[in-house]
């Protein structure tokens, strides 16, 4: 592979991907991704398990070399200038390496040593991080005795100890309780105020709504990339939201009944995507009444990001099916 050392344009984004590709044998995990993330931006890479999010992040953090294409972080090429990148970034992987037998404070010191942080002024920096992540009362607690949410905050503190310009977070709140998730995002917003660029991957679509821009990935390919508001405009058809005490049963029966209409569960509600709202509303109400399923409400709603993703995936699946069928 030929690599130019520096990002070619004068207007340097914090992160730039140019046809970035990774193959494992016959499997293409990441397929020709093109993206640019501005300095100080909170960018979300959204997709289900196996979409290629972690592989993309491992290439951007110079842990894994791409099969083809290029990428730059803060102007440094991910292959030819890998060491320079590691000094500029913080990276929190899905299985961030905390040491359970070390205390909170000792873990942060350990990462300060790895990053070569001088001893002078280090205590002040660590105190700031503990305060910033609300971990000060737990500084002497062993990491192994922390809750899931606290471990994530400690992982973030360790990734920030050397004051990185770009922060990469791979599904940082996966499996964490809702309150801890909110705390974690509050910390991220404070980092944005300090000018840190944040590149976060998530499978939680409500979290993607918090980002400045979102890239939707599926099977290693970028389906769409824009602000959450603009992505919602890609939605085809009208969304009808059903509230019923029996959402799962209603969704299953409506899938069988309505055929062309997309039926998905959205929390405890059922969402129908239809090109003929009046007809679908009438057919749905009649059908649920026949099946003795109580209907609390049936109304048109604005799309959530979740609806857009479902819609785009269905469009992609349909087009792939037509391609293979020809």
Residues with Cβ within 8 Å of 284's Cβ and at least 6 positions away in sequence, in order, are 240, 242, 254, 258, 272, 298
For residue 221, the model assigns a pLDDT of 93
Q: Is the same domain home to 218 and 236?
A: no
Domain edge (last residue) among 225, 254, 271: 225
Q: Kindly indicate the confidence band of residue 18, based on its pLDDT and cuts at 50, 70 and 90.
A: very high
The CATH number linked to 183 is 3.40.50.300
Identify whether the C-beta of residue 47 lies closer than 8 Å to the C-beta of residue 53. Answer: yes
Where in the sequence is the domain holding 288, given as residue range(s)? 232-325
For residue 1, the model assigns a pLDDT of 35
Q: Is the same domain home to 93 and 174?
A: yes
Q: Is the same domain home to 179 and 317?
A: no
pLDDT over 80 (residue 15): yes
Q: Is the same domain home to 48 and 185?
A: yes
Q: Kindly indicate the confidence band of residue 82, based on its pLDDT and cuts at 50, 70 and 90.
A: very high
Q: Is the same domain home to 201 and 269?
A: no
Could you give the 3-state DSSP secondary structure of residue 255? helix
For residue 289, the model assigns a pLDDT of 92
At 203-221, the pLDDT tens digits run 888 888 899 999 999 999 9
At 46-72, the pLDDT tens digits run 988 889 999 999 999 999 999 999 999
Q: What is the mean pLDDT of the chain?
A: 88
Query: Is 1 within the bounds of a domain?
Result: no
Identify whether the C-beta of residue 77 lies closer than 8 Å to the C-beta of residue 107. Answer: no
Q: Is the same domain home to 155 and 112?
A: yes
Query: Is 6 within the bounds of a domain?
Result: no
Q: Which of 210, 145, 221, 141 is nearest to 172 (CA)?
A: 210
The CATH number linked to 320 is 3.30.70
> Looking at 7-11, 206-210, 257-261, 316-320, which range is the least confident one?
7-11
Q: Is the same domain home to 138 and 249?
A: no
Domain edge (last residue) among 198, 225, 252: 225
Q: Is the same domain home to 245 and 126?
A: no
pLDDT over 50 (residue 8): no
For residue 320, the model assigns a pLDDT of 61
Q: Is the same domain home to 220 and 262?
A: no
Domain edge (last residue) among 225, 244, 268: 225
For residue 233, the model assigns a pLDDT of 85
Query: How many domains does one find in the chain?
Result: 2
């Amino acid at each position: 592979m030929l690599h130019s050392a520096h990002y070619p344009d004068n207007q340097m984004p914090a992160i730039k991907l140019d046809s970035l590709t990774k193959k494992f044998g016959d499997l293409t995990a990441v397929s020709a991704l093109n993206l640019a993330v501005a300095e100080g931006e909170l960018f979300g890479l959204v997709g289900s398990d196996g979409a290629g999010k972690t592989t993309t992040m491992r290439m951007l953090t110079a842990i894994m070399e791409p099969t083809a294409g290029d990428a730059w972080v803060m102007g440094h090429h991910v292959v030819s200038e890998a060491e320079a990148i590691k000094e500029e970034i913080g990276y929190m992987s899905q299985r961030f390496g905390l040491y359970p037998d070390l205390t909170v404070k000792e873990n942060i010191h350990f990462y300060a040593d790895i990053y070569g942080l001088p001893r002078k002024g280090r205590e002040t920096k660590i105190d700031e991080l503990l305060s910033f992540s609300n971990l000060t009362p737990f500084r002497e607690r062993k990491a192994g005795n922390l809750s899931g949410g606290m471990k994530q905050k400690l992982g973030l503190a360790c990734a920030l100890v050397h004051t990185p310009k770009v922060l990469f977070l791979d599904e940082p709140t996966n499996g964490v309780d809702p309150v801890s998730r909110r705390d974690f995002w509050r910390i991220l917003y404070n980092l944005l105020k300090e000018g840190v660029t944040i590149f976060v991957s998530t499978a939680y679509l409500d979290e993607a709504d918090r980002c400045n821009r979102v890239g939707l990935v599926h099977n290693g390919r970028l389906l769409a990339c824009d602000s959450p508001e603009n992505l919602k405009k890609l939605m085809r058809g009208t969304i009808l939201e059903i509230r019923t005490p029996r959402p799962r049963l209603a969704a299953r029966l409506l899938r069988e009944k309505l055929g062309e209409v997309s039926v998905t569960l959205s929390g405890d509600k059922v969402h129908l995507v239809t090109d003929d709202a009046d007809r679908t509303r009438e057919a749905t109400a009649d059908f649920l009444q026949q099946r003795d399923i109580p209907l609390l409400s049936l109304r048109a709603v604005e799309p959530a990001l979740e609806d857009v993703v479902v819609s785009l995936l269905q469009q992609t699946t349909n087009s792939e099916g037509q391609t293979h069928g020809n």
